[in-house]
Amino acid sequence: MTPENLLAFPPDADRAGFLDSRMHRELSASLAHLAEACAEAHHPAATPLAEAARLLQNQRVGPEAFARYFLIGTALLEGREAEVEADAVALLADVRAGRAPFRVSPRGGAGELDGLMDRQMGEEAACFAPVAPETAATFATLLDTGLDLLCAGLPALHAEITTITHHVVAATAPDDATMQFDGASHYQFWGLLLLNPRFHTTRLAIAEVLAHESAHSLLFGLTIDDPLVLNAEGALFASPLRADPRPMDGIYHATFVSARMAWAMEGLAASGLLSPEEHQQALAAARSDRANFHAGNGVIEAHGLLSPTGETILRNARNWIAA
């Protein structure tokens, strides 16, 4: 895939497949490297890690395997070798099982993902509280209606979302939380989205949040070699999209995602598939998304230090907004 196509703004099914394949190739190569290091140290994790790396050359996996890789790598870097073997064996089991079909699970009933989130996210995992199984089941039905709308109206975006995303975990904020979340994704859990059923109660709202969160995942897939921004990690800036100051990478993500949401809402508004009420809601959402893009872009123009990749991606988003 050419750099021009790779960093283009509109959704592209072929690019999504390319990124998903590349993420798996990178996981395989990294596991092979860890296996070699473990073998040199006569560590028992070497064998399962090497076998997982081999199988990944022709296998697709869920977010569990990606999360375990990061846990294993961190443990090795921090000298906690005793913890590695169990995770290596579990990772191999994840790889052998392969990627399950698209599904929706409740937080608290998402199997090993619940524990992996707790371990990998630390205190942040408490922001994602469990929901009842029946809540997740109802949300899964609604999610299908949003996906069906995208499939009919914006097939390229639908293909991008379903190529990259394979597991949605329904969660909510704790009862005593001062802030709520509507959706989240994490670069160490490739293929996973966290969505809050309280905030997405119509098929149009589902379509918009999928456009939102999948755009974060797209940026994760585009930046495995090159960051988006070069600002210092500890530097925080006033964010027009959040109440709290944010690192420039977070502001960049929110800005790009706003353009993608506007693209989706305007595309659906023009599709002829919406009711009159939905049509007006989509146009109103797009206006808000465009305003958010301009606000975020202003902060980036004033303070952002962009990598070549970040500059190209944002330039293409700006060109679409200006067209």
**How far is the C-alpha of 126 from the C-alpha of 173, rounded, in Å?**
8
57 and 131 share a domain?
no
Q: Is the residue at 185 inside a domain? A: yes
228's enclosing H/E stretch is none
Q: Is the residue at 54 inside a domain? A: yes
Four-residue CA torsion sign, 20, 26, 29, 33: negative
Q: Is the residue at 172 inside a domain? A: yes
90 and 106 share a domain?
no
180 and 263 share a domain?
no
pLDDT at 269: 98
61 and 104 share a domain?
no
**How far is the C-alpha of 159 from the C-alpha of 102, rounded, in Å?**
13
Reading the chain (323 residues) residue by residue, the pLDDT tens digits are 888 899 999 999 999 999 999 999 999 999 999 999 999 999 999 999 999 999 999 999 999 999 999 999 999 999 998 889 999 999 999 999 999 999 999 999 999 999 999 999 998 899 999 999 999 999 999 999 999 999 999 999 999 999 999 999 999 988 887 777 889 999 999 999 999 999 999 999 999 999 999 999 999 999 998 999 999 989 999 888 777 889 999 999 999 999 999 999 999 999 999 999 999 999 999 999 999 999 999 999 999 999 999 999 999 999 999 99
199 and 113 share a domain?
yes
31 and 87 share a domain?
yes
**How far is the C-alpha of 12 from the C-alpha of 10, rounded, in Å?**
6
72 and 107 share a domain?
no
Query: Domains in the chain: how many in total?
Result: 3
- Chain-centroid distance of CA 280 in Å reads 28
Residue type, position 25, single letter: R
Q: 161, 177, 209: which is the final residue of a domain?
A: 209
233 and 315 share a domain?
yes
Q: Is the residue at 218 inside a domain? A: no
Q: Is the residue at 154 inside a domain? A: yes
196 and 260 share a domain?
no
Q: 3-state SS of 159-177?
A: HHHHHHCCEEEECECCCCC
132 and 105 share a domain?
yes
Q: 154, 176, 209: which is the final residue of a domain?
A: 209
Which backbone phi and psi does 290 adopt, to 5 degrees?
Answer: -65, -40
Which residue's entry shows tokens 């944002």? 314
Total residues found in the chain within this entry = 323
Q: Is the residue at 217 inside a domain? A: no
179 and 251 share a domain?
no
Q: Is the residue at 215 inside a domain? A: no
In Å, the largest CA–CA distance within the chain is 67
Kindly give the interhelix angle for 155-164 and 133-153, rounded to the nearest 10 degrees: 140
**How far is the C-alpha of 293 from the C-alpha of 295, rounded, in Å?**
5
With b for 16 or more beta-carbon neighbours within 10 A and e for fewer, the 193-231 pattern comes to bbbbbeebeebbbbbbbbbbbbbbbbbbbbbeeeebbeb
pLDDT at 244: 83
Q: 97, 124, 153: which is the final residue of a domain?
A: 97
204 and 265 share a domain?
no
Residue type, position 203, single letter: R
- Residue-range definition of the domain harbouring residue 105: 100-209
Distances (CA, A) of 230 to 57, 87, 144, 311, 323: 32, 33, 39, 11, 28
Residue 214 in tokens: 């999948």
pLDDT at 262: 98
**How far is the C-alpha of 58 from the C-alpha of 25, rounded, in Å?**
9
